[in-house]
């Protein structure tokens, strides 16, 4: 595919494709590693009418219909919504909790093993159903998010206030469009990780020197132990995505609308199909934020079993990286799709949640398994990318290709197995999660360098892994 490339300062490229402009935020090494397929997919996305902006973050890689690592924007009044540019795991995102522990408290790897075993009692990893929370009404959760939980599951008001959104409001009548089996499939999945790249990780912090004061305001200290959680909307979001992608695909056929990629689906925001999808997507966002909340609740229960009933795990932040949200930019309401992209608002921005209005909110970026994760802060310059940054390292190889290219021994070495600072994993056999090894992903440090070099965000803290819980 022919494409003209224009550089806009450091780590920012604008590529003119046959159907529109694509912005790419990446350093030269990452930019040159992009395969042709990602640009082909971008051009297919740009065929969607009235697009106002489209960009890739450095972790961009091929997905279904749309690359993971995409930000795409339309005006609310005459724009489009695309389930393909939201992704199948609606509301997938990150959550971080601080603890009163220091890394020296977990220096003994047998202590870390015991912690993992205890967490697995409260956060099941080998079952589809979590029977610990049978008293939670799934319909109250999808209608009202965290506000649909019984009071006993809210350890403190801070667990409600320190999140991107605790209750996505929408027209609940849209729920009648879903098949009855969705409740059965999602029943008992609250508080479960799921498989793939989802995880719960115990980490310790290395604070950036220039952000020690801000880190202290956020409750972060050098060597402090934190809990990072990555999960989404489980079966509820999967069924919403699957059912309504089918509905919109059928509508596109009736409208006589097509795209070279049969997996790329979209509808006018104002259409019945578009409105129904948006309402149901919000129900999945409510499920996702509540799911991460309940995983964290289970982790806190595990810590309390080991360290006493007074153990507290304050929330740092919870945010999403797969969604479409109405936001105000350039003086007008716009629908911002982020598929594998994280919103990173700077200090003072009006879209910040109230508790982070002055400082800007923590932007939570996971690394690959066995590598560092990051807590970042958006910069004012992020306006050029609608305040979107990366959502992680981004896959370098498919799961199948990873299993062909990487050995269990190489994976074991990356986790420093057998050493005192081994990254302890809940899986007894690393072969079961080989496709999640660090070698399956891009170099997260290069990804972060791309973001900071482009002026989109700064690093506040690096999170070093000590123990990892993966689902099956």
Active site residues: 391
User: What phi-psi label fits residue 3: left (phi over 0), alpha (psi between -120 and 50 degrees) or beta?
Assistant: beta
Q: CA 240, CA 471: separation in Å to the nearest integer?
A: 22
Which residues fall within 8 angstroms of residue 398, CB to CB, at 6 or more apart?
A: none
Strand order across the 4-7 sheet: 4-7, 12-17, 20-25, 53-61, 68-75, 332-339, 322-329
Q: CA 284, CA 273: separation in Å to the nearest integer?
A: 17
Contact 182, 235 (CB under 8 A): yes
Contact 344, 363 (CB under 8 A): yes
Question: Which structure tokens are listed for 461?
Answer: 């803290």
CA atoms within 13 A on the CB side of 27: 13
């Amino acid at each position: 595919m022919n494409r003209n490339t224009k550089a806009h300062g450091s780590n920012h490229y604008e590529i003119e494709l046959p159907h529109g402009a694509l912005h790419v935020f990446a350093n030269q090494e990452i930019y040159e590693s992009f395969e042709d397929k990602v640009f082909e997919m971008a051009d297919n996305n740009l065929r969607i009418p009235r697009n106002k902006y489209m960009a890739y973050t450095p972790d961009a890689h091929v997905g279904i219909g749309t690359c993971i690592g995409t930000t795409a924007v339309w005006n609310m009044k005459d724009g489009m919504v695309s389930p393909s540019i939201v992704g199948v795991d609606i509301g997938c995102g990150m959550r971080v909790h601080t603890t009163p522990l220091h890394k020296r408290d977990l220096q003994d790897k047998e202590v870390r093993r015991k912690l993992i075993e205890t967490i697995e009692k409260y956060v099941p990893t080998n079952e589809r159903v979590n029977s610990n929370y049978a008293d939670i009404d799934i319909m109250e959760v999808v209608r009202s998010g965290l506000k649909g939980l019984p009071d006993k599951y809210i350890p403190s008001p801070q667990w409600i206030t320190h999140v991107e959104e605790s209750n996505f409001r929408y027209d609940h009548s849209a729920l009648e469009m879903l098949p009855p089996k969705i409740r059965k499939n999602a029943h008992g999945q609250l508080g479960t990780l799921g498989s793939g790249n989802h995880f719960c990780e115990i980490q310790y912090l290395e604070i950036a020197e220039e952000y020690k004061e801000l880190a202290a305001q956020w409750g972060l200290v050098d060597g402090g132990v934190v809990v990072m959680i990555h999960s989404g909307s489980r079966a509820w979001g999967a069924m919403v995505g699957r059912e309504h992608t089918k509905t919109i695909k059928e509508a596109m056929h009736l409208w006589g609308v097509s795209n070279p990629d049969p997996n790329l689906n979209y509808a006018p925001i104002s259409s019945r199909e578009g409105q129904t999808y948006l309402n149901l997507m919000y129900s999945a966002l409510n499920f996702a934020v509540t799911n991460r909340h309940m995983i964290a609740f289970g982790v806190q229960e595990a810590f309390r079993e080991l360290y006493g009933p007074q153990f507290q795990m304050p929330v740092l932040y919870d945010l999403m990286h797969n969604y479409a949200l109405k936001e105000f930019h350039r003086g007008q309401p716009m629908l911002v799709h982020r598929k594998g992209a994280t919103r990173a608002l700077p200090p003072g921005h009006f879209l910040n949640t109230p508790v982070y209005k002055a400082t800007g909110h923590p932007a939570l970026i996971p690394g690959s398994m066995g590598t560092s994760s990051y807590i970042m802060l958006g910069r004012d310059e992020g306006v050029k990318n609608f305040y979107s940054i990366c959502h992680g390292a981004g896959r370098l190889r498919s799961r199948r290709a990873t299993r062909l290219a990487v050995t269990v021994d190489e994976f074991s070495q990356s986790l420093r197995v057998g050493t005192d600072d081994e990254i302890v994993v809940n899986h007894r056999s690393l072969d079961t999660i080989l496709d999640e090894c660090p070698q399956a992903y891009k170099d997260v440090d290069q990804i972060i360098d791309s973001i900071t070099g482009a002026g989109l965000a700064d690093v506040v803290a690096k999170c070093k892994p000590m123990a990892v819980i993966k689902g099956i």
